[in-house]
Amino acid sequence: MNAHIVFGLFAFYVAAVSLLLVLAGRQDTLLASLRQLWGRTLGHALYFVARVALPTLICVVFLGWGVRQYDATVAFHNFDAPLQLNVEYYRDLLPLLRNDKAHDPIDVVYGA
Count Cβ neighbours within 10 Å for each residue of 63-96 and write b for 16 or more, e otherwise.
Answer: beebeeeeeeeeeeeeeeeeeeeeeeeeeeeeee
Q: Could you read off the pLDDT of 58-104 as tens digits, one per residue?
A: 999 999 888 888 766 655 655 565 665 667 766 777 776 666 555 45
Residue 99 resides in a domain: yes
Q: Are residues 15 and 28 in the same domain?
A: yes
Q: What is the dihedral of CA 82, 83, 86, 87, to 10 degrees?
A: 80
Does 32 share its domain with 77?
A: no
Residue 108, domain member (yes or no) = no
Query: Where in the sequence is the domain holding 61, given as residue range(s)?
Result: 3-69
Does 84 share its domain with 42?
A: no
CA atoms within 13 A on the CB side of 80: 0
Model pLDDT for residues 7-16, shown as the tens digit of each residue? 999 999 999 9
